Structure formats: structure tokens, C-alpha cells
Structure 1
Amino acid sequence: MYQVLLFDADNTLFDFDACERQAMQETFARHDIVLTEEMKRCYHAINQDLWDRYEHGEVSRETVVYARFEALFARFSISQDAVGFEHAYQAALARGHQLMEGAVELLDDLQGRYRLFLVSNGVVDTQYQRLRDAGLTKYFERIFLSEEVGWRKPQKAFFEPVLHAARPCVREELLLIGDSPSSDIAGANAVGIDCIWMNPHGRTLPTGLHVSGEIRTLHELHAILER
């Protein structure tokens, strides 16, 4: 029986897509730049590539956040301070704390029945502000952010302090809930803990990864936990 639940943050508890859309629109408008659909698609491709490389240890987190708008502006010949723009974007993103449907109700129900941890690769200042503003901090016994841990999901070293904090519970009593195959699912597989894939868009799980269950909404997690 599970005793400790490890929740990812973005696109698991937070509706990161909604937060990102709001932050992008606000920041581009403040800098008098027209944000086109083509620019959005290009940004998402650049950003995803950088985060994938970060998860594989090829680039630093600083490279991810400071290179993405630089690359975007170069692609569209926009004369803008990419570093200053990133700071403004992060501030706007931190103010966005839209939640996935049922997140608060789920955490209310689980609190006291399970030990709840948060495990995220997100930017520290942004994540803490969003957790506070959304009223979620109170639910978690421990919060593990890669920037503070010094390692990132899916690296085994990221999970070492998590497993230590979960004692006396053993790995078989831990369950990770996350949306990213490359960080959440791969990380759980690497350290031998069960995982639930938050997969609202019905994607196909990459070959070689294994999950204990799959959900489209947070409401479906109850049935899995009650098995």
C-alpha cells in the first residue's frame, strides 16, 4: 500500500499551459511585440528542445531560461534584450497559478491519509511563488526542486534526498504522479518506484518506459489509490 505520494508540479497540479499562455501574452504586450502563432510554435519548439537537453544533462538550467528568447528573437530578427525579457517573463509566469481541475479537492482528500511530497524541475523562485499564491504549500511535507537539490529528474541523484526523507517508508510504498515521460516516468523507473502518468492528451508512452497506471484527469487518481 502506498504511503508517500510524489507529485510533479507543472501540467500535473498546475495547468502550466494556461500559465504559460498568460505570461507570454502579458510579457510580449508589455514589450510592444506582436506575438504571432508562428512565434508561439517556434518558441515551444526551442523551449522543448532546451528542456530535453537539460534533462539529459547536456545544458544547464541557466542555459535553458536564458537561451530560449535569445534564439527566438534571432529567428524573427527582433531587437530586444533577451535576458531582461526572460526576467519579465519569469515574473509574469510566477504570478500565474492556474490549477488543473480538481487539484485542491484531491490534495484536501489526500492530506492526512498520505505523506505528500512535491518533486519538480521548475525554476525555484517561480515555483515557490506559484505554490504560495495557489495555497498549495501547506499540503506538502517536503518540496524538492532540482535547482536546490543540485540534480534534476530523471537523474537518480535527484531522488536520493527524496527517498531519504520518505523513511521509514520503502520504495514499494512510494508513488510518483507526473506528466513527463522523460523526467517523471524515466526517473521513477530509474530508482524503482511506481508511477502514474498524467496524460490528458492521450499520448503514446515511449518504448522502454513503464507505468503503474495512466490518468487523463486528477479525478481518476482516486480509483487507482483505492485499488
Structure 2
Amino acid sequence: MAYKHLFFDLDHTLWDFERNSAECLADIYEIFDFKSLNISSLEAFQQEFSIVNKHHWSLLEQNLITHDELRRRRFQETLENLGVKDLKKSFGLEINEYFLALLPKKAHLIEGAVEVLDYLLPKYELHIISNGWHDIQVNKMKSSEIHHYFGEIITNELAGTRKPDRRIFDYAVEVTKADLAESLMIGDNYEADILGAINANMDTVFYNPDNIPTGQKPTFDIKKLVELKEIL
């Protein structure tokens, strides 16, 4: 297949959300003096937030909660799950806003990201399709110095819908003036990125470092980003 347009997910695919998030959470742990809340350790806070955050993003992608609910609930529930009692209802949101201000300043990328983007840029038109907040995603890309690789940065705010809804992929093809048969979606989330793109009749690359088994097979399955150089 002669691809021309490559659509990348951002978080967990190119931008190392787990590492960048862990750094932010370490800052928050100190700034908000979480030791005084009797949270056992920074590691416990980081681990619980990771679990709660993934759960809430899954709910969001199923349209079971809104972005505003995710922002309000993820830190509040993390702290409650760690045994913190009598929290102000606004405390979780206050932490979340600090987190969102700090997170885009972090710059760690998934291993091989720059090498692969340097290889692909002369050959393809590169774009982003993300469920994240638009300004935050743009700032992440600027901080990590990958913004210049991409033409369109497509987010749910612009498309009016989010992955896995096929309408965000339809919107992406429309705004980039791409031919669907010449388009390829690359992402780490099987439900949002891969099944969403398959439902939109777009070929897919599942970035799958943990070797997650899949039902409906992607066009390609890779464990490292550098494997894209063999495919493309």
C-alpha cells in the first residue's frame, strides 16, 4: 500500500505520558505536602493516579463521562482511594489545574520517536489525532520539540467528537484532504486508535510494546517505534 498521510496518536505513542506524568506527580507530592495527608509514599500516589486516570479516560472514550468530569474526579478519587478523608470538593480540581499547567512543559518522548519522525518526514505528510485538550497537546509537542513535524493537529475539540468515534477519523481525512486508502493510523490504544480507525476503514499500526492480544487484527503490530522504518 502506498501511504501518503500518517496519523499519529500523541500520548503514550510519541510523547511519554507515563514518565512525564510521574515527574509532575512528584512535584505535586512535594508542593501540596501530601506527606501531611498521610499518603504512604510518592510511589503509591503515582501508581494510584495511573490506575484512576486510565479508568477515567476509558470512561471518557465510551462517552460515559465528560472532559470536565474527568478533570474534577481523577485527583479527587485518587486521594480518596489512598485514604485521604474530608477533602474539599474543589481540592481535586485545584490539583488537576496545577497538573495541566505543569504537564505540557515536560519533554520526554517514547524511545525512537525522533529517529522515526526524522525518517518519515521527507516521505509522508504527518498529522496528530488526539483525544487530549488542544492547547495542552500543542504545548506538549512544542516542549518536546516535535511540533514542526506535523501538519494538522486534530483533537476532539476541533472535530466535535473523540476516538474511537469514526467521525474524528472522517474529519481528519477531510481537513487534510487525504485519500482514505492512502492513510494510516498509528497508536497505542487498541480501542480508541485501532478499532476506531478500522471502523473508519483506515489502515492501522498498533504500537503494542506490552504485546496485548487483539481480536480484530490491525494492519501492522509493532513493539518499538523504530519498526515503522521497516513498514514504511
* Fold shared, TM-score > 0.5 on shorter chain: yes
2:187 aligns with one of 145, 156, 178: 178
CA distance in 2, matches of 1:41, 1:133: 25
Question: Which residue is 2:38 aligned to?
Answer: none
CA distance in 2, matches of 1:124, 1:28: 26
Please tell me whether residue 195 in structure 1 is matched to residue 204 in structure 2.
Answer: yes
What SS does structure 1 have at the residue aligned with 2:34? coil
Q: Select the residue among 108, 112, 133 that pairs with 1:123.
A: 133
Cα distance 1:147–1:28, how it changes in 2: closer, same or farther (>3 A)?
A: farther
Aligned CA-pair RMSD:
1.6
Of stretches 177-186 and 120-129 in structure 1, the one that deviates more from structure 2 is 120-129
Specify the alignment match of 2:172 in structure 1: 162
The residue number in structure 2 matching 1:30 is 31
Aligned to 2:105: 95
Q: What residue ranges of structure 1 are gaps of 5+ in the alignment?
A: none
- Which one of 69, 73, 90 corresponds to residue 67 of structure 1? 73
Correspondence for 1:12: 13
Q: Which runs of 5+ in 2 are unaligned?
A: 36-40
The residue that corresponds to 1:55 in the other structure is 61
Do the aligned partners of 2:183 and 2:202 also contact (CA within 8 Å) in 1? yes
The reply on whether 1:3 has 2:12 as its aligned counterpart is no
Aligned to 1:152: 162
- Give yes or no for the alignment of 1:221 onto 2:224: no
Cα distance change, pair 137–36 in 1 and its aligned pair in 2 (3 A): closer
For residues 134-149 of structure 1, what are the structure 2 equivalents within 5 Å?
134-149=144-159
With the length of structure 2 as denominator, give the TM-score of the two structures. 0.90
Aligned length: 222
Q: Distance in 2 between matches of 1:29 and 1:193?
A: 45
Identity of paired residues, percent? 27
The separation in 2 between residues aligned to 1:24 and 1:182, in whole angstroms, is: 27
Task: Judge conservation of contact 1:106–1:218 (CA < 8 Å) in 2.
Answer: yes
Q: 1:187 to 1:41 in 2, by over 3 A?
A: same
What displacement does 1:95 show? Answer: 1.2
Quote the Cα distance in structure 2 between the aligned partners of 1:24 and 1:155: 31
How many angstroms apart in 1 are the aligned matches of 2:188 and 2:68? Answer: 23
Structure 1 position 36, deviation (Å): 4.1
Counterpart-to-counterpart distance in 2, 1:155 and 1:97:
29
